[in-house]
Amino acid sequence: MHAPEVHLACARPTEFAHRDIEAIERLLSEEEREAMRRLRFEADRRAFAVVHALLRALVANDCEVDAAEIELRHDTRGMPFIARHPDLHVSLSRTRTAVACAVTRTAPIGVDVECIESRPIDAGLLGAFVIAPQPVTTKAFFFHWTALEAFWKACGTGLVDANPRILCMPRNASRFDVHLERSNGLCAGRGAVVHAYDDCALAVVLRAPADPDFVLKRTNCGSASDINQLSRAHAAHERFFAA
């Protein structure tokens, strides 16, 4: 039996030429374009367009449908889903520096990408949500924060104060299990650390029960042409590599 797969797509919005942004905007729904226009800063509008186009390309690749015809919806808690494809789990994350999205049929999924900034980290803030080792280094802070955000996205709630704290237990250099505080050792999530860009932290988490040895395949896109190629099932297959 083959291990379940997760497909991940990453991009740097600043790498896209202006004409590329105009091209991928045409893939978005009118609702998405309106949401993009409401963003105040051009950098945020660019990142919004890129991540939503990426997600559409990944879904088009998996479902063998036209990217522009995909209906991205959100449930009452804000969790994204694809209309007419309820068995396909999706997640997306964006910053001005990098964006990422993931799709799988394995289990509910969350992805989070964060820019590793030079300002001092807030260990106290992290401690309110995560049981983390001390002292908290910059690397540890961003690993735990992306794992935290990705896990609660997979759970469908997002990060809220009422959530219990999580504990990330390493399985190897790039894989980890998520446990909830006072959960009697039950695994709540299966995660992976992804080194997509040197200045970013990125984590993917599947909600348990899920196969801890899921196969994670990643592709990077830097243009509208890349996204269009990704959306085509046969061409896209060659773009993915082990993360």
pLDDT in tens, 46-92: 999 999 999 999 999 988 888 888 999 988 888 899 998 989 999 99
* Alpha-carbon gap, residue 121 to 119, rounded angstroms: 6
Please give the pLDDT value at position 3: 80
Mean pLDDT across 139-161 = 93
Please give the pLDDT value at position 237: 57
- List of domains in the chain: 5-242 (3.90.470.20)
Q: Which runs of E-coded beta strand occur in 123-232?
A: 166-170, 175-180, 187-193, 200-207, 215-221
Amino acid at site 207: R
Please give the pLDDT value at position 120: 80
Most distant CA atoms of the chain, gap in Å: 54
* Alpha-carbon gap, residue 170 to 99, rounded angstroms: 25
pLDDT in tens, 100-132: 999 999 999 999 999 998 778 888 899 999 998
* Alpha-carbon gap, residue 16 to 225, rounded angstroms: 10
